[in-house]
Amino acid sequence: MISKSDRQGPSRPHEEAGVAESRAILKRIRQETEPQVGAGMAGMMGGVAKHFAARDADPADPIEVLGTRIGRLLGLVGFVTLAFVLASNLFYD
């Protein structure tokens, strides 16, 4: 009679090889996708910071830099205010 351990013996190395291959594939996929997501988010946040810091304004003219920063900040405040008013009218009216 064939014992349980005899039946699992021949298929076990094949299963272990498949599991090892699957883990290697998943590790490779993780390595390929994580840096792209992180780099994209870091680039986007850096772009937003540069935008609100007025890095594109003429650094030799401090009044232009200050005015650009104030204008962009007021634009953001206006957007958030209008979004709040719209949401309150849609959901609470």
Write out pLDDT tens, residues 48-71: 888 888 888 898 999 999 999 999
Tokens, residue 53: 């810091």
Task: Determine if the pTM surpasses 0.75.
Answer: no
Tokens, residue 34: 């994580």
Write out pLDDT tens, residues 16-52: 888 889 999 988 887 777 666 666 677 778 888 888 8
Q: Which residues lie below 8 Å from residue 68, measured CB to CB, with a gap of 6+?
A: 54, 56, 57
